[in-house]
């Protein structure tokens, strides 16, 4: 199923029957990706007296409770409500769901103290004069172990404040990354990259989103894609999400 998209004077075609899912599935148990000291996701049948909501245990339906933290248990999309005093929610802030996106791959650079950083120079070199609506960052080493990695207390790579300021200046509204946060794991609550990207509180960009803990397989090439960000309609600062890429071609 082909769809035509016009962006900045160019017309592209995308085959919507060939999605590239860059989310990590939410799975029960220790093998799921995890961060921020969060307990593993739980999916358990409801118990009401002698009745158990599990077909295997004699019920006519499966009827389960799910317990998780969107920030710590998998791919999620968040709005400025993640850092604001105001109660902004992802369901209120994300009103469009398709975007022109640029996928880039970066090897974070070392810094004194052992930190690994995505820098302003990385973004400049990868994007050049491109100004997409969304930026998808894949970091190296890009092992498939990212889909079940436990990030707590590992000090993962993160986005330097100047890189976030550049992304803001470029007018990019949706930032996706394969790390648990755009900021340093323990930074004393500064959250410099979050604040720079959302320009909170002085010039808050309510329509912007950050999606964290994605996974982009190595066989997906860097370049321009159609991005679809799918969320559940949570009135919360974040929702588990399913970002999907579609290959773009110049329409004939």
CB 102 within 8 A of CB 130: yes
Q: Is residue 47 part of a domain?
A: no
Number of domains in the chain: 1
Which whole-number Å values give the CA distances from 183 to 126, 156, 170, 245, in the listed order? 20, 9, 19, 24
The answer to whether the peptide bond before residue 129 is cis (omega within 30 degrees of 0) is: no
* Terminal Cα distance for the chain, rounded: 16
Q: Is residue 45 part of a domain?
A: no
Burial 98-136 (b: 16+ CB within 10 A, else e): bbbbbbbbbebeeeeeebebbbbebbeebbeeeebbbbb
**pTM higher than the cut 0.95:** yes
What is the maximum span of the chain, computed from C-alpha positions, in angstroms?
64
What pLDDT score does 237 carry?
98
Q: Is residue 46 part of a domain?
A: no
- Condensed to tens digits (0 to 9), the pLDDT of residues 3-44 reads 888 888 889 999 999 999 999 999 998 889 999 999 999 999
CB 33 within 8 A of CB 74: yes
Q: Is residue 59 part of a domain?
A: no
CB 1 within 8 A of CB 17: yes
What pLDDT score does 3 carry?
87
Q: Which residues pair with 67 in a beta bridge?
A: 42
Q: Is residue 113 part of a domain?
A: yes
Q: Which residues pair with 158 in a beta bridge?
A: 117
CB 241 within 8 A of CB 75: yes
CATH of the domain at 217: 3.50.30.50
- Condensed to tens digits (0 to 9), the pLDDT of residues 53-76 reads 999 999 999 999 999 999 999 999
Domain enclosing residue 158, as ranges: 2-25+72-250
Which whole-number Å values give the CA distances from 211 to 37, 63, 139, 232, 250, in the listed order? 19, 29, 14, 14, 27
Q: Along the 252 residues of the chain, how does pLDDT read in single tens digits?
A: 788 888 888 899 999 999 999 999 999 988 899 999 999 999 999 999 999 999 999 999 999 999 999 999 999 999 999 999 999 999 999 999 999 999 999 999 998 888 999 999 999 999 999 999 999 999 999 999 999 999 999 999 999 999 999 999 999 999 999 999 999 999 999 999 999 999 999 999 999 999 999 999 999 999 999 999 999 999 999 999 999 999 998 876
DSSP 112: T
CB 160 within 8 A of CB 117: yes
């Amino acid at each position: 199923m082909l769809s035509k998209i016009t962006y900045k004077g160019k017309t592209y075609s995308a085959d919507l029957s060939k999605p590239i899912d860059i989310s990590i599935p939410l799975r029960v148990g220790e093998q799921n990706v995890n961060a921020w000291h969060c307990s593993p996701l739980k999916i358990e049948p409801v118990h009401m007296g002698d009745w158990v909501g599990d077909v295997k245990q004699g019920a006519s339906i499966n009827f389960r409770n799910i317990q998780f933290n969107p920030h710590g248990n998998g791919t999620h999309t968040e709005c400025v409500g993640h850092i604001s005093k105001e109660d902004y929610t992802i369901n209120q802030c994300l009103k469009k769901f398709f975007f022109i996106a640029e996928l880039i791959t970066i090897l974070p650079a070392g810094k004194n103290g052992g930190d690994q950083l995505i820098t302003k120079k990385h973004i400049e070199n990868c994007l050049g004069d491109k100004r997409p609506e969304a930026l998808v960052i894949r970091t190296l080493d890009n092992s498939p172990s990212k889909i079940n990695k436990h990030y707590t207390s590992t000090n993962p790579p993160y986005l330097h404040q100047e890189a976030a300021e550049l992304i803001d200046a470029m007018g990019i509204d949706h930032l996706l990354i394969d790390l648990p946060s755009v900021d340093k794991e323990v930074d004393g609550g500064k959250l410099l990259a979050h604040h720079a990207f959302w320009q909170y509180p002085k010039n808050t960009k309510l329509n912007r989103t950050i999606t964290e803990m994605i996974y982009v397989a190595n066989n997906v090439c860097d370049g321009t894609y159609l991005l679809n960000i799918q969320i559940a309609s949570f009135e919360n600062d974040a929702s588990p999400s399913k970002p999907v890429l579609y290959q773009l071609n110049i329409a004939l």
